[in-house]
Structure 1
Amino acid sequence: MKFLLRGLIRGKTAILDNRNHLIPGIQSMFKMAARNKQDDTRPKRVAVTQMTASRDKEANFITCVDLVRRAVESGAQMVFLPEACDYIAESKEESVQFAESINGPLVSKYQKLAAEVQVWLSLGGLHIKETEDKIRNTHIVIDNTGKIVSTYSKAHLFSVHIPERNLHLEEKAYVSPGKAILPPISTPVGAVALSICYDVRFPEMSLIQRKLGAQILTFPSAFTVTTGLAHWEALLRVRAIETQCYVIAAAQTGQHNKKRSSYGHAMVVDPWGAVVCQVSEGTNFALADINLDYLQNIRQEMPVLSHRRLDLYHILDMQFPDYPRICELLPFPSSYVSYQFGTVSVPGSCVFLKTQLSQAFVNKRPIVPGHVLLTPERPAKRFHQLQVPELSDLAQLTQKALEVIMCCYQEKTCQIAIQDGPAAGQTIDHIHIHIVPLNPSLNQKLQGHEEDGTEHWRDTNEMQEEASQLRQSATQILPNFYNVEPGIPCNTCVEIPEPECLENFQFGSVQVPNSCVIVKTKHTYVFVAPSPVLPGHIYVTFLKPCAGYRKASAEQVTDFFIVMQSAERLVETSHKAESSTIILLEDADLIQDQNLHVHAHIIPRTEDDLANNDNVYVDVLNHFKQHSEWTFSQEVIAYASHLRRLWLELNN
């Protein structure tokens, strides 16, 4: 028996057979246009499953294995299983009693299954033992090698009491809530954000996941029949519409025991809010193709995220959980994974370093060979919008990227730049760092980079080739993929030096008077630039000499980026500017001064303050080379005093 699937897929109705498989001959309408040659044979196909779990763990596992194997035979690259796919017990005591650790036999069997059939698995909510009387409802993702790549503990716990129907569900009685919203994980089908069931009722969580770069939201569930009939489809569709993400919701269905039954209707919803596929009755699965080009078109044509009035509401100012402050490199992304850079999709094959919160990738329009870009995973527009874990991660990734560029291109030093805001030359609304090798041809190329129109725009194949070379260099010089240093403190303790203090600060061979220093921390200090390139020009520098930015400790560079962020806000406020240029000069060898401190220039920018925006980089380099001739005038001292007072106003 055949029936019409509810909803549309890119304007076409899909027909399924009685096992919810795509009928041969109809499948072609679902195949997405390939991004490159490697993607031609890799449609981003997912399977969403539905089952009726019982207290019998082994029987449930056998059911899941059958669903997974059949889905893989139908071309699924990732299979999504529902909440409680391990078991649904008949009491809370049984729920705790049956729970296993994440290293227990059940998860191990799923790892072996994923590796055997070469598929990514989303285990939508396993009962993971925490204490003798508490568990965590945990969403686990396993890759196609059998490795656990992410675990999320359910944050919002369900509670309902309807005495007249003898319905009492109190999840918090035996479940500990999760304490973190995790960044999306990179998978063959896109950037997947993890949630569970009741989380779907809290739009703030989904909006934060979208801000962190999610393309696919997941809500594996065991909805009650009453709430499912009233709200299930409506909630899933509205989450898809407001975030412009795909939503994948595996589901429990039917009668589990005398006390409990579930609504079912597992489905996939597209970013326009259309139901792409839905499982009908009983234990089964349905297939959907994830079209990230379609998703991106929707976001470009209706950029609702950029229209949010965060000056009126602050629910999306996410406070990150207490991540380790040490930047951990992740395995190189696959070619069929893509990352958002503003409105641009960057193929995973063009990324040469990746962490949980940031990535480094090759440039489509490099000024010189080795000119690369770094960006946070979350699409923050401005530097001041980054939070401490992101700043720390990006600061350390910059070090690693420098090592790779210098090794691969045999360069001695690089310039690190942030065009922060339109007046500073930012054209993509996603904060990013430029690393540009300082070779003899740079100044000449900078002079005409904006206007001549002859610059080389590279194709994907050319970019992939460079990324491959950089990956090889990274493998050679960064053998320890995971840093084992302890975490770095979040807080940076800022001091404002007393103007009367006779202590001076050393900057290479120059003594910077205390009266010209604005603030200092354990590792960093800020002072006013004599003879500024533009009004408001300040320096942020390490307290102690360092052989290069890439040689500093993780704690030093984290502190440095935190201070840069605050200092930028300071001078922008002082000059009523909405943009800044940040330029970090990396290496003391640049002017043969081994005592020179690594430092950054922060220059507030206004529209048309320079005839050619790229002139600022040449001017800064010249200013820096003349540091031995600096004089700190009364005007510089007065400006430093003004900035100290303003710092106190802004931070009290």
Structure 2
Amino acid sequence: MKSYLAAAVQMNSLPDLHENLAQAEDLIDLAVRQGAELVCLPENFSFLGDEAAKIAEAETIAQSSEKFLKTMAQRYQITLLGGGFPVPTAAGKVHNTALLVGANGEELARYEKVHLFDVNLPDGNTYQESETVLAGTNLPPVHPSKELGHLGLSVCYDVRFPELYRYLSQMGAHVLFVPAAFTAYTGKDHWQVLLQARAIENTCYVIAPAQTGRHNSLRQSHGHAMIVDPWGIILADAGDKPGVAIASIEPSRLEQVRRQMPSLQHRVFS
């Protein structure tokens, strides 16, 4: 594992596939021009809006998203995470799928989100992800990279389930991905503290690309894409506008924190 720059991209995705992919390309370009070798796009990067439209267009969204990720990774010679897009299933629903792609355009890892956001919030908004999304059934993967470290996948609502990240750390993860479209209501209180907790308890870097702003009349996201170090220090925060949060991933820092706070070695229960 070497030292390198990573980017957590922050988008304001809309119910328009082509506009979203154009926005994503601009932000990937911005990140690469600043030196990023690992670029991470948020959940719903290619489409965020009406659920019925998402299901109706799911096949097109899935094919276009995967082609886009592979093309961008090859063009810019980066490792690229697509933090979540709909992939149709035989059951008529979709998997909320995160895809990690290497610089040669090859698929490195794929994860189908297991925790679905079925929540009635105090602000009056109701979210029923399971109405259109079929939960994944497999544990999230850790992709071993000699250059970038071991990369653990997750998606958004997963961040509230620490056992998932404990599993990733047990599997050797150095970096945890948390691509999200966190709601504005929950994000203001929970987003940052949850990311810091997952970083601290697993002594891992956390890279959390995010959605921000209004997507339609009902959906509004919190923003604040960020990168957190293994001690819980926020290295970069994208604020509330589209952009990128960029920070250095340092193996020496990872080793230092794990040496000074060897909590992973002190686990009693597994």
Which TM-score band applies after superposition, normalised by the shorter structure? over 0.9
* Cross-structure match for 2:109: 150
**CA contact under 8 A between 2:61 and 2:86: conserved in structure 1?**
no
Q: 1:51 aligns with which of 11, 29, 33?
A: 11
**CA shift for structure 1 position 64:** 0.4
1:67 maps onto 2:16 in alignment: no
* Cross-structure match for 2:140: 182
- 1:158 and 1:182 map into 2 onto residues whose CA distance is 17
* Cross-structure match for 2:97: 138
- 2:262 and 2:59 map into 1 onto residues whose CA distance is 44
Aligned residue for 1:89, secondary structure, equals coil
Higher Cα radius of gyration: 1
CA RMSD of aligned residues (A): 1.6
Change (3 A) 1:160 1:59: same
Q: Counterpart amino acid of 1:252?
A: Q
- 1:259 and 1:243 map into 2 onto residues whose CA distance is 35
Which stretch has the larger CA shift, 96-105 or 239-248? Answer: 96-105
Which segments of structure 1 move beyond 6 Å, counting only runs of 4 or more?
none
Change (3 A) 1:289 1:245: same
- 1:122 and 1:107 map into 2 onto residues whose CA distance is 11
Q: 1:84 aligns with which of 44, 59, 73?
A: 44
**CA shift for structure 1 position 142:** 0.6
**CA contact under 8 A between 2:114 and 2:158: conserved in structure 1?**
yes
Encode CA deviations 1:595-615: one digit per residue, 9 max, x unaligned.
xxxxxxxxxxxxxxxxxxxxx
Query: TM-score, normalised on structure 1?
Result: 0.40
Instruction: Considering Cα pairs closer than 8 Å and 6+ residues apart, tell me whether 1 or 2 has the greater RCO.
Output: 2
Q: Counterpart amino acid of 2:228?
A: V
* Cross-structure match for 2:194: 235
Q: 2:265 aligns with which of 294, 297, 306?
A: 306
**CA contact under 8 A between 1:200 and 1:236: conserved in structure 2?**
yes
* Cross-structure match for 1:262: 221
**CA shift for structure 1 position 250:** 0.3
**CA shift for structure 1 position 119:** 0.9
User: How do 1:22-33 residues align onto structure 2 when only pairs under 5 Å count?
Assistant: none
User: How do 1:155-174 residues align onto structure 2 when only pairs under 5 Å count?
Assistant: 155-162=114-121, 165-174=123-132
* Cross-structure match for 1:198: 157
Identical positions, percent: 36
- 2:246 and 2:123 map into 1 onto residues whose CA distance is 37
**CA contact under 8 A between 2:79 and 2:102: conserved in structure 1?**
yes
**CA shift for structure 1 position 149:** 1.0
- 2:69 and 2:89 map into 1 onto residues whose CA distance is 20
- 1:124 and 1:284 map into 2 onto residues whose CA distance is 16
Aligned residue for 1:239, secondary structure, equals helix
Q: 1:288 aligns with which of 212, 222, 247?
A: 247
Change (3 A) 1:132 1:203: closer
**CA contact under 8 A between 1:126 and 1:138: conserved in structure 2?**
yes
1:115 maps onto 2:74 in alignment: yes
Encode CA deviations 1:251-283: one digit per residue, 9 max, x unaligned.
000000101100000000000000010002311
- 1:142 and 1:291 map into 2 onto residues whose CA distance is 21
- 1:147 and 1:104 map into 2 onto residues whose CA distance is 15
Encode CA deviations 1:403-462: one digit per residue, 9 max, x unaligned.
xxxxxxxxxxxxxxxxxxxxxxxxxxxxxxxxxxxxxxxxxxxxxxxxxxxxxxxxxxxx
**CA shift for structure 1 position 98:** 1.8
1:277 maps onto 2:236 in alignment: yes
- 2:204 and 2:123 map into 1 onto residues whose CA distance is 37
**CA shift for structure 1 position 167:** 1.3
Aligned residue for 1:178, secondary structure, equals coil
Aligned residue for 2:52, secondary structure, equals helix
**CA shift for structure 1 position 102:** 8.9
- 1:288 and 1:166 map into 2 onto residues whose CA distance is 36
**CA shift for structure 1 position 166:** 3.7
Query: TM-score, normalised on structure 2?
Result: 0.95
Change (3 A) 1:174 1:66: same
**CA contact under 8 A between 2:84 and 2:96: conserved in structure 1?**
yes
- 1:211 and 1:110 map into 2 onto residues whose CA distance is 28
Encode CA deviations 1:557-591: one digit per residue, 9 max, x unaligned.
xxxxxxxxxxxxxxxxxxxxxxxxxxxxxxxxxxx
Q: Counterpart amino acid of 1:231?
A: H
**CA contact under 8 A between 1:44 and 1:289: conserved in structure 2?**
yes
- 2:233 and 2:182 map into 1 onto residues whose CA distance is 20
- 2:64 and 2:261 map into 1 onto residues whose CA distance is 47
Which stretch has the larger CA shift, 298-307 or 45-54? Answer: 298-307
Q: Counterpart amino acid of 1:182?
A: P
**CA contact under 8 A between 2:62 and 2:85: conserved in structure 1?**
no
**CA contact under 8 A between 1:183 and 1:213: conserved in structure 2?**
no
Structure 1, unaligned runs of 5 or more: 1-34, 311-315, 317-652
Aligned residue for 1:104, secondary structure, equals helix
Q: Counterpart amino acid of 1:228?
A: G
**CA contact under 8 A between 1:101 and 1:129: conserved in structure 2?**
no
**CA shift for structure 1 position 182:** 3.1
**CA contact under 8 A between 1:64 and 1:85: conserved in structure 2?**
yes
**CA shift for structure 1 position 88:** 0.6
User: How do 1:513-532 residues align onto structure 2 when only pairs under 5 Å count?
Assistant: none
Encode CA deviations 1:51-70: one digit per residue, 9 max, x unaligned.
10000000000000011111
Q: Counterpart amino acid of 1:66?
A: D
Structure richer in strand, relative to its length: 2
Count matched residues.
Answer: 269
